[in-house]
């Protein structure tokens, strides 16, 4: 198309077919272009990582120092999704949590009800698979993710109360839940997770 335009006397000021991946791989000159449109890397995510690679590990308890959360390209995740604990409930052994009775308590449990659901971009595939961070500790999601609520097991976390901050994606203390982790559980890509997080949630922008 560029060659066609030039032959007909049209000379575009800028041309590109390059996004984040080409920029990170040094492939710009091969695109016959003089511009780049960085996309997902502006959020701090590596577009070259694929589901199944170590960076995606959904079950690795990530414990890092604050200075140790960049990847080999120097990318650092910029987005954090937060919510709050609405209520704490005691569930007896044999009791069910959330819709469709998909989770049955194997013992007496303490469950935190959290103000977030699939309307806020949390995939329903996180049901009984995902986790959140409360007071810096991992709390596994139990039961079905509903439209506006999720339930998490906080039996082993001391002192949880209504109003406590919940990290759905991001860091709390030395632990982290990455967008890549959520994408793996939801069998999708970080692009979709970022997009869905931005549809109905309040956004707070902070300068770096």
Q: Which of 21, 79, 80, 75 is nearest to 44 (CA)?
A: 75
How crowded is the C-beta side of 204, counted as CA atoms within 13 Å? Answer: 4
pLDDT digits (tens, 9 = 90+) for 25-50: 877 766 567 888 888 888 888 887 65
Give per-residue pLDDT as tens, 75-120. Answer: 888 889 999 999 999 999 999 999 999 999 999 999 999 999 999 9
Hey, what are 131's tokens? Answer: 């986790």
User: Which two three-digit tokens encode residue 146?
Assistant: 């509903």
Segments making up each domain of the chain, as ranges = 2-61, 81-197
Global confidence as pTM? 0.80
Pick the CATH number of 81-197 from 3.40.50.300, 2.60.120.1440, 2.30.140.10, 2.40.37.10: 2.40.37.10
CA-closest candidate to residue 129, choices 49, 54, 59, 60: 59
Q: Count other Cβ atoms within 10 Å, centred on residue 38.
A: 15
> 118 near 186, Cβ under 8 Å?
no
Pairwise CA distance, residues 18 & 5, whole Å: 19
């Amino acid at each position: 198309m560029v060659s066609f335009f030039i032959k007909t006397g049209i000379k575009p000021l800028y041309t590109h077919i390059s996004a984040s991946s080409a920029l990170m791989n040094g492939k710009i000159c091969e695109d016959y272009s003089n511009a780049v449109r960085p996309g997902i890397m502006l959020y701090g995510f590596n577009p070259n990582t694929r589901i199944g690679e170590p960076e995606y590990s959904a079950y690795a308890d990530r414990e890092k120092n604050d200075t140790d959360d960049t990847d080999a390209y120097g990318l650092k995740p910029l987005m954090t999704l937060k919510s709050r604990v609405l209520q704490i409930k005691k569930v007896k052994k044999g009791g069910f949590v959330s819709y469709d009775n998909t989770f049955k308590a194997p013992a007496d449990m303490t469950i935190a009800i959290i103000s977030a659901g699939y309307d806020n971009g949390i995939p329903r595939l996180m049901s009984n698979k995902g986790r959140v961070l409360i007071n810096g500790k991992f709390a596994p999601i139990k039961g079905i993710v509903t439209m506006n609520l999720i339930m998490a097991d906080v039996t082993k976390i001391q002192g949880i109360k209504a109003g406590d901050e919940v990290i759905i994606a991001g860091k709390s203390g030395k632990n982290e839940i990455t967008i890549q982790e959520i994408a793996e559980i939801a069998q999708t890509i970080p692009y979709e997770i970022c997009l869905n997080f931005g549809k109905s949630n309040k956004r707070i922008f902070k300068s770096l």
